[in-house]
Structure 1
Amino acid sequence: MRRIKNIAAAISLALTGALVAGCMGNAGGHPAEDRITIIRDGYGVPHVYADTTRDLFTGYGYVIAEDRLYQMEMARRSVIGTVAEVLGEAYVNHDVSTRALFDPQDIQRQIDALGADDFAILDGYASGFNRRIDEVLADKARLLPRQFIDAGFEPTRWTPYDVAMLYVGTMVNRYSGSSSEVSNYQALSSLTGSYGDSAGRALFDQIYWLEDEHAPTTVPRNETVAMKRDEAGTAAQQIAVADNASATDEKASSLSGHLARLRPLSADWKGMELAGSIVGGTWPDARPTTSNMWIIGPDKTDDGSTMLLNGPQFGWFNPGYVFAVGLHGAGFDIVGNTPFALPVILFGTNGKISWGATAGPLDVNDMYQETLVPGDKTAYLHNGTVQRMKVRTELIKVKGKPDTTTEVYSTVHGFVTSFDPGNNTAYTKKSSWAGFEVQSLIAWIRSTQAGNWEEFLDQASRMAHTINWYYADAKGNIGYVSPGYLPRRPANQDVRLPASGAGDMEWEGFHPFSSNPQVFNTAQKYVVNWNNQAGPGTLTDFGNYSIVDRVNELSSRIEAKPRLSRQDVLDLNRAGSFADLNARYLLPTLIDATTDLPAGSMARIVRDHLAAWNWESADADDDGYYDDAAATLMRKWVPALLERVLKDDLPAEVFARYAPAGYPAAGNPGSPRPAAGLKLVYNAMLGAGAGVPQTVDFFNGEAPAAVLKETFLAAVAALEDQFGSNLADWKTPVATHLFRPQNFLGIPQAGADEGIELAPFMNRGTENNLVVFKGGKAVSLCTVAPPGQSGFVDPNGVKSPHYADQLELYKSFGCKEEHLSREAVRADARSVRTLD
């Protein structure tokens, strides 16, 4: 029996037990005399209990401010453009570009239009956050995070507008604002300049296609029927799903017809689409390239359970990008993780259903080329008349310097992202979600209260921006839907290029939600996605969806087993993390082409080694180098192959975009995928069997196998010269995770010395969560979200015990069990706090 030596400790323990017992003992989940109860578990994860929506989100805002006050202050300033006010003139350009992404008055109008209970979410969150700020400012010597002291400013109070802008600036502008239409136009101009109009356009079609009929899709090709499970969880009723064969009827017009309506780019123009720079993607793959997901239905698991594992890939930061929380009461009963912390739990379960997300794949943005009146940058032509741009002046406060101003321009299509003054043109971005940002946030929040697929879909239909949503429930149902308002584009528009702003390429409304990619209880018994194509016919300006896709690393392993165990589902994460994403498309052909290599030759030794390789690059002995020489070979050979096949056919500036091999880079690994150039090379290898017509022979009449062999031999010779003939010496240093003290926009969110390095790099989620349903309920939620729950560093530099306590768990592919029941929360309670 444990003895308590200190009487005060005994009283404290008894009171804590009474409070915990009390908060679990009534329907509201907390004592009647206290409006809000907060219980933290052994990893510091808070569970908030309250009866009203406002109180629940007041508790939520409060715990966020306890754990992440400086991070959240800088997140807010990052997305509304007020960083220079506290960090100085080095951040003026950031604030200028950020202010051009949204209209504050429009966001406020959307907030003002909310119903009382929806508004209470934002207002309660801000209230709880401010309550903690007041406590901190009243006791700065003990509670003010060290980063504020070092930066020389203090936290400021929040409003519902600030809370909403967290979502608008991250999930909407970052993940739903991408476009590559102008950069596509640059590439097309380069191709036609090099080869003439006809040949240049043909080559553009070949390297930037609209549909590859062999590309893997999350909605299985040609699947139009699904099975719904009854109350007992058995397959019972056939239901139709959306017309997956044509998720959108956007078709490219004649490229010549579209180009006839556009002005050329100035030869010296160096403008960049603002939205593309925010997302961070570059042509030929400017879309968000983050996150994976697999859901295994009960007919494909070894025990009849249903399993959902999500790996959202936001990047790696300190404090961590996501925040764990439980929200209980007022119609919510949620446990999960969410970025920063948004007022919506993006990844989690309510016991009846579970949900997750990956980056949206739908084309919900168009760039418009506006023709300017010479000598007047604010006047443009539309529908045959001169129109005047709206101009909004923004005041930007600058620490230690005079205030400055910037002007935000907009046309009938949207905000101006760039000017091409040499050609009297401007580019504007039109987004289908503009004006519906707050509606989309509330829809996502309300989806976490859904109890079945129909309720979940109802909220999906209210999501205006693009996102992928995933679903599993306690009855064994699994589903996928890709929400977003899909524009009806005119027949004369090629979606790959900027639209004409003259009035002849205007949208014709939106497609019905039923045409969005969606599927329920697929015949294949699982759902899998790694940012691959949503469904057949889902056309975009930025997709370039291909048979070469990293999702094959997951689907091939799922298909390999008739039934999967929980460990199998977890092991998919490890396999995907270390998979060489180029190997499966090249090595079978290479192995067959090199059977005649002399026995005992270095090339034959390497070839045989590759034939036995598992196509994974890991560092099991933790020595800082990849274990297998194959990792070194692939990093030498693949770039050489791409150069050999593509460089003579593409202008230098276009080839440069296809030259990288796709392997994680030291210090900035990103979210690796197969080499963009490999898509072109593999299609050329397939020839007439490719899903994209091959009008230009990149192999110039040579046999592809012979070219693979030639470049392989050259790579082996170069490596033998560099490392010698012992394969054990062919070492490549591992890429590493750097948990950066800057946020996703490059703005400091922690002290400069708070970066954390973790090796080796794993191509996986920033966080991972596995939900298992069995016996009609969620039986477990296991998560990991490094570095840790709390980023708090006290004024003396002492860090929270939960500052980095999930790093080793993450490295070992472990996870912590979250508490789904009141009893489990009570059993692991480490602290209890009540707010009146």
Structure 2
Amino acid sequence: MRLLFRVLASLLGLTALTVLLGAGLAYYLAARSLPDYEARWTVSGVAGPVEIVRDLHAVPHIFAESDADAMFALGWAHAQDRLWQMELGRRAAQGRLAELFGPDALPVDRSMRALELPAHAREAVAMTSPETRALMEAYAEGVNARIRAVNEGALGRGAPEFFLFGEDGLAPWTPTDSMSVVKLMALRLTGAAAIEARRARLLAQVTPEQLADLDPVYPDDGVIALPAYADLRSLGPVRHAHAPRAPHPLSPFAEADSGGASNVWAVDASRAAAGAPLLAADPHLWLSAPGVWHLARLSSPGFDAIGAGIPGIPAILIGRNGSFGWGLASAHVDDQDIYLERLNPDDPSQYLTPEGWAPLRTRTERIGVRGGGVETLRLVWTRHGPVPPAGGELDFSSITPPGHVAALAWTALSPRDGAMDAAIAMMRARTLEEGAAAAALHTAPAQNVVMADATGVGMVTAGVAPLRRADSRTRGRTPSLGWLPENDWQGPAPADASPGVLRPESGAVANANNRTTDAPFPLHLSFDWAAPYRIRRIESRLNERPFHTRDSFMELQNDAVSDMARGVLPLIARDLWWGEAQNDGPAAVRREAALARLADWNGAMSPHDPEPLIFTAWMRALTRRLAEDELGPLFREIAGPRPLFVERVYRDIDGAARWCDVVKTPERETCADMARRALDDALGELTQRYGEGPTGWRWGAAHVATHVHAPLGYAPVLGTLVNIEHESGGGDHTIMMGQSPGRGPNPDANIHAAGLRVVYDFAELDRSVMIVATGQSGHPLSRHYDDQSELWRRGDYIAMSLAPEDARAGAQGTTVLTPER
């Protein structure tokens, strides 16, 4: 027995030693790729010496003697901090994720191959100005110089993820790769096709009047009537009536309600306490670790800019220079249309056009799969665009009748894409007029650009909107019949149709993805805008005081009060507050306690309080109670709180109160019945999740902001090591936005928020501030992987100064790049 014990103890010790050695080796290999910010490198590709000063938070301040050398150094810094993130974005655009992650990534690759983003990117690069193209090439040389340095110095392959998913060596970075990342961002920031497909699926089951309740046109429902679905129904039943599957974690395709969002606002000197303009911007994107944004400063003869960019793109996309600042917000332009193309029943290689039958363009591609497999994929295009293949992330089979295929038209697939010319020009702008001229060069993704200089503020919409014919049958709201000429685009909308204002008399501009133009179709830009609650709150807060300061703008960016809750709660609770109490046991006790708390609530989505949790769960349950009996399996399309729908029902707009009656029961339920039952549903769910309440319930415990590492963050054990998590406030419709999925195992999680916040103060520009949601480094072992995260959670900022002495004070190190002789 004693011998057996010794043997077992020896085996256990050997196992522990093996684990420790393995962990030590893994740590050693991972640590090899930690960036060294204090180093000198001799490199080919620069004309003169370049300094990269890493400030207290490892933000690179680049000092170069030429613009090309500054871009080279930016490429070096991006590759030093985020090489894995860059490679992941490049592979996503190319449709080559399955090579690293196996068959699970094939749906993404199939759809991306159809879009041909790299081919379109090559065309765009060829059409950019020679100066911009030279800067893109200098940036690519900087990335590649860093990759060579990693290989020659055995620096852990540049990032620890490459030990798990890397190949023999990284392909050189090219300007096409940078342009592909731009187009990938355009894809992430548009949900136009997803909205159109959802609308078609819903119209296959509900009436246009019902859809007007579920998916209302905002702000004026009477501008355009909903298109009839008769054209599509007459083609025959679709193959599927169910909602699409949940997206792959690495999918760049936005769901219908998950495109880009942002807040931007600015006031001129007449509205500022210090007598100079102020500007604030906080773009809302998916949360990830590392975050989407990377901070940098460029100083060279043609650049003097600081702000945030996206690794892989050679530009500062949101920032300021010595006399001009700008911020971006998604413009929600309807830049995509789905076309149903009729196939020739006698020859399915042909499809119908206004001129008769035409051949489909086809090509076969091979997708490599990790493990040695290869998938052969047949790709198809029509005159309108690519036909997404079945089994992909972008799959229109649920709305495609027999004998047809569905093609995607999208402005970002145009060979003329001025995005990089616009970005470079914006960095060099010195006045509002120069900023507006730079914005006019942009193609996709469409953005509202808020700008400020010493003389005032302004806002313009940048990006191409398609010009549809005035007699279009669908007006881009539902899939169009591809053989009808009236459904074709007529090219881009005229530039002078884009909304914009410079130096407004009011002295203030703002946008929260709300409607920006009252122009009628076809110059309308879109029918699908963000709900009005954020812009109403911004306008109210901007106008409640005569003068603003940098600090008041910072406070406003962190405003977590929901005007949506303030408006909707009295509608759904009034009959329960003032009506006859329903005494139905323990449920009634919980209900009355919750109603008493909500009666005193001011709408603040504080992480410390239970009221935001109760209200959000109630709204989610109320949507289900109102709509699930009519929609059945399609309810997943709209699951979650839908306040515009609830407002229409409880205000009985156009008879929308009919949704309160459950069509499958003989009784006639009232809206008060639905509110009470939904509240009981919500309180029961919360009790099951968090125990008896509501005293111990907290919104922050449910509304956890999780910055997920791709792909390690999805692994059960590794996720706890590489993901960044913390409780957060705000909600779907607060200025400090924290959007939740509204369904799934964690319906209240914060998954989409302001990964960047900036405030520019033109009274003293070097007092401007910025913050990203995680940190500069993409390396999980770096202290700069998450060193800004806690600041971001608290609503704090770091300095945004162009003064060299500010960067050098407390610097983490200085990298010097010198040219080879």
Note if 1:770 corresponds to 2:758: yes
Indicate which of 746, 757, 763 corresponds to 2:725: 757
Shift of 1:103: 5.2
Indicate which of 421, 440, 452 corresponds to 2:419: 440
In the aligned structure 2, how far is the partner of 1:45 from the partner of 1:512? 40
Distance 1:830 1:463, change over 3 A: same
Q: How much identity, in percent, do the aligned residues show?
A: 22
Residue of structure 2 equivalent to 1:329: 300
1:16-64 C-alpha deviation (Å, 9 max, x unpaired): 99x9xxxxxxxxxxxx983422222111111222233322211111111
Q: Is the 8 A contact 1:272 1:418 kept in 2?
A: no
Structure 1 residues 91-130: aligned runs within 5 Å? 91-102=105-116, 104-130=118-144
3-state SS of paired residue (1:464)? coil
Residue of structure 1 equivalent to 2:438: 459
Distance 1:172 1:390, change over 3 A: same
Residue of structure 2 equivalent to 1:728: 695
Shift of 1:387: 0.8
In the aligned structure 2, how far is the partner of 1:253 from the partner of 1:381? 26
In the aligned structure 2, how far is the partner of 1:724 from the partner of 1:273? 32
Q: Is the 8 A contact 1:181 1:541 kept in 2?
A: no
Residue of structure 2 equivalent to 1:77: 91
Residue of structure 2 equivalent to 1:207: 214
Most deviating of 639-648 and 457-466: 639-648
Most deviating of 265-274 and 385-394: 265-274
Residue of structure 1 equivalent to 2:513: 531
Indicate which of 637, 649, 652 corresponds to 2:632: 652
Residue of structure 1 equivalent to 2:319: 348
Distance 1:634 1:148, change over 3 A: same
Residue of structure 2 equivalent to 1:679: 644
Indicate which of 319, 325, 336 corresponds to 1:365: 336
Q: Is the 8 A contact 2:262 2:283 kept in 1?
A: yes
Distance 1:469 1:725, change over 3 A: closer
Residue of structure 1 equivalent to 2:478: 497
Q: Is the 8 A contact 1:418 1:428 kept in 2?
A: no
In the aligned structure 1, how far is the partner of 2:565 from the partner of 2:55? 43
Q: Mark the runs of 5 or more structure 1 residues left unpaired by the alignment.
A: 1-15, 20-31, 192-199, 216-249, 620-626, 662-674, 794-798
Distance 1:426 1:713, change over 3 A: closer
Q: Is the 8 A contact 1:307 1:770 kept in 2?
A: no
Residue of structure 2 equivalent to 1:637: 618
Residue of structure 2 equivalent to 1:610: 598
In the aligned structure 1, how far is the partner of 2:293 from the partner of 2:131? 25
Residue of structure 2 equivalent to 1:787: 774
Distance 1:90 1:38, change over 3 A: same
Shift of 1:570: 1.4
In the aligned structure 2, how far is the partner of 1:588 from the partner of 1:533? 25
Residue of structure 1 equivalent to 2:195: 180
Shift of 1:468: 2.2
Shift of 1:608: 4.2
1:242-285 C-alpha deviation (Å, 9 max, x unpaired): xxxxxxxx9568626x7279624424366969999956554xx4
- AA partner of residue 207 (structure 1): L
Q: Is the 8 A contact 2:426 2:438 kept in 1?
A: yes
In the aligned structure 2, how far is the partner of 1:563 from the partner of 1:728? 39
Q: Mark the runs of 5 or more structure 2 residues left unpaired by the alignment.
A: 1-36, 41-45, 391-396, 662-666, 731-736, 739-752
Shift of 1:351: 2.0
Q: Is the 8 A contact 2:262 2:512 kept in 1?
A: yes
Residue of structure 2 equivalent to 1:138: 152
Structure 1 residues 263-302: aligned runs within 5 Å? 263-268=235-240, 280-282=253-255, 285-286=256-257, 288-302=259-273
Structure 1 residues 619-638: aligned runs within 5 Å? 619=607, 627-638=608-619
In the aligned structure 1, how far is the partner of 2:714 from the partner of 2:362? 28
Note if 1:590 corresponds to 2:570: no
In the aligned structure 2, how far is the partner of 1:806 from the partner of 1:721? 35
In the aligned structure 1, how far is the partner of 2:431 from the partner of 2:239? 55
In the aligned structure 1, how far is the partner of 2:713 from the partner of 2:437? 33
Indicate which of 51, 61, 68 corresponds to 2:65: 51
3-state SS of paired residue (1:100)? helix
3-state SS of paired residue (2:286)? coil
Indicate which of 77, 100, 107 corresponds to 1:63: 77
In the aligned structure 1, how far is the partner of 2:155 from the partner of 2:698? 50
Indicate which of 164, 171, 177 corresponds to 2:179: 164
3-state SS of paired residue (1:470)? strand
- AA partner of residue 549 (structure 1): Y
Distance 1:259 1:588, change over 3 A: closer
Distance 1:264 1:301, change over 3 A: farther
Indicate which of 757, 774, 786 corresponds to 1:804: 786
Q: Is the 8 A contact 2:54 2:813 kept in 1?
A: yes
Number of residue pairs matched by the alignment = 728
In the aligned structure 2, how far is the partner of 1:740 from the partner of 1:720? 25
In the aligned structure 2, how far is the partner of 1:144 from the partner of 1:486? 40
Structure 1 residues 381-420: aligned runs within 5 Å? 381-418=352-389, 420=397
Most deviating of 724-733 and 628-637: 724-733
In the aligned structure 1, how far is the partner of 2:351 from the partner of 2:149? 53
1:504-551 C-alpha deviation (Å, 9 max, x unpaired): 221233321121122334455433333322333477898554765343
Q: Is the 8 A contact 1:368 1:500 kept in 2?
A: yes
Shift of 1:340: 2.9
Residue of structure 2 equivalent to 1:150: 164
Indicate which of 454, 458, 463 corresponds to 1:475: 454
Note if 1:825 corresponds to 2:807: yes
Residue of structure 1 equivalent to 2:659: 698
3-state SS of paired residue (2:473)? coil
In the aligned structure 2, how far is the partner of 1:583 from the partner of 1:128? 52
3-state SS of paired residue (2:553)? helix
Distance 1:500 1:275, change over 3 A: farther
Structure 1 residues 570-585: aligned runs within 5 Å? 570-576=554-560, 579=562, 581-585=564-568
Q: Is the 8 A contact 1:351 1:474 kept in 2?
A: no
- Normalised by the length of structure 1, the TM-score is 0.78
Q: Is the 8 A contact 2:184 2:252 kept in 1?
A: no
Residue of structure 2 equivalent to 1:834: 817
- AA partner of residue 634 (structure 1): F
Distance 1:401 1:828, change over 3 A: same
Distance 1:264 1:747, change over 3 A: farther
Q: Is the 8 A contact 1:107 1:435 kept in 2?
A: no
In the aligned structure 2, how far is the partner of 1:254 from the partner of 1:359? 25
In the aligned structure 1, how far is the partner of 2:205 from the partner of 2:639? 17
3-state SS of paired residue (1:742)? coil
Q: Is the 8 A contact 2:265 2:280 kept in 1?
A: yes
Distance 1:551 1:436, change over 3 A: farther
Distance 1:646 1:89, change over 3 A: closer
